[in-house]
Chains A and B, each alone.
Chain A
């Protein structure tokens, strides 16, 4: 079946540090890939997405590139802020059409 593997947290960074959260996937066909974010006390929100190989999704300074050859969709940000502290979920939607999530990576940014 489809699955998403992402690095376990928590990840603790100082403000303005570079962020990478790794995500790899297993899926049939050509899935769409997503990063969702869950801020403390809030619901899941879509952060960015990519629907085909080599697409780059970007939003709020975050980027992720759909790499079919390595089945990866790593999340990056060049300079994190305290307000980026949240849990980040990598997810995919494949031929079965349901969205499958990774376990989430908690990011804590300290001033």
Chain B
């Protein structure tokens, strides 16, 4: 296993378009996280899954954002009707066990023009 994989690495989209990102976690990891990072800030929690169940979603997250992990393996993050403020690096991470470290992918950089 080569670690957490995210696709695409870069996405440029026009305002108002929908975008979808994919994350493939480390295979035996049951937890999967999505974070957003903007320049000069730490990763901001968006949502996380334990297996296929979405256990928490940030209260700051707009209804335009939705995430799925249909079979408890890969996950997708969709942003509908993108806005310029959605421009950021979207990070996926996975972990196994309680209190364990999260392993991060390289991220998907979204630019909304």
- Which residues of A are in contact with B by a Cβ distance under 8 Å? 4, 31-32, 34, 36, 42-46, 49, 51, 89, 91, 93, 96-104
Chain A residues positioned under 8 Å from B41 (CB to CB)? 103-104
Interface set, chain B 62-110, CB cutoff 8 A to A: 91, 93, 95, 98-107
Q: Which of A31, A45, A93, A104 is close to B104, meaning CB atoms less than 8 Å apart? A: A45
User: With A45-B104, A97-B31, A104-B42 as given contacts, are A32 and B99 in contact (CB-CB < 8 Å)?
Assistant: yes
A-B pairs with beta carbons under 8 Å apart, 24 shown: A32-B100, A42-B106, A43-B91, A43-B104, A43-B105, A43-B107, A44-B43, A44-B91, A44-B104, A46-B103, A93-B102, A97-B50, A99-B45, A99-B93, A99-B95, A100-B45, A101-B35, A101-B43, A101-B44, A102-B42, A103-B41, A103-B42, A104-B40, A104-B41
- Which residues of B are in contact with A by a Cβ distance under 8 Å? 31, 33, 35, 40-45, 48, 50, 55-56, 91, 93, 95, 98-107
Asked if A46 contacts B98 (CB within 8 A), the reply is no
Which among B50, B103, B104, B105 has the highest number of chain A CB atoms within 10 Å?
Answer: B104
Which among B33, B41, B100, B107 has the highest number of chain A CB atoms within 10 Å?
Answer: B100
Chain A residues positioned under 8 Å from B100 (CB to CB)? 32, 93
Asked if B98 contacts A97 (CB within 8 A), the reply is yes
Assuming A51-B99, A97-B98, what are 16 further A-B pairs, CB within 8 angstroms?
A4-B42, A32-B100, A43-B107, A44-B93, A46-B101, A46-B102, A93-B99, A97-B99, A98-B48, A98-B56, A99-B95, A99-B101, A99-B102, A101-B42, A103-B40, A103-B42
Cα A99 to Cα B34 in complex, Å, equals 10
Which among B40, B55, B105 has the highest number of chain A CB atoms within 10 Å?
Answer: B40
Chain B residues positioned under 8 Å from A34 (CB to CB)? 101
Is chain A's binding surface mostly helix, strand, loop or mixed? strand
Cα A31 to Cα B93 in complex, Å, equals 18
Chain B residues positioned under 8 Å from A98 (CB to CB)? 33, 45, 48, 56
Which among A31, A96, A98 has the highest number of chain B CB atoms within 10 Å?
Answer: A98
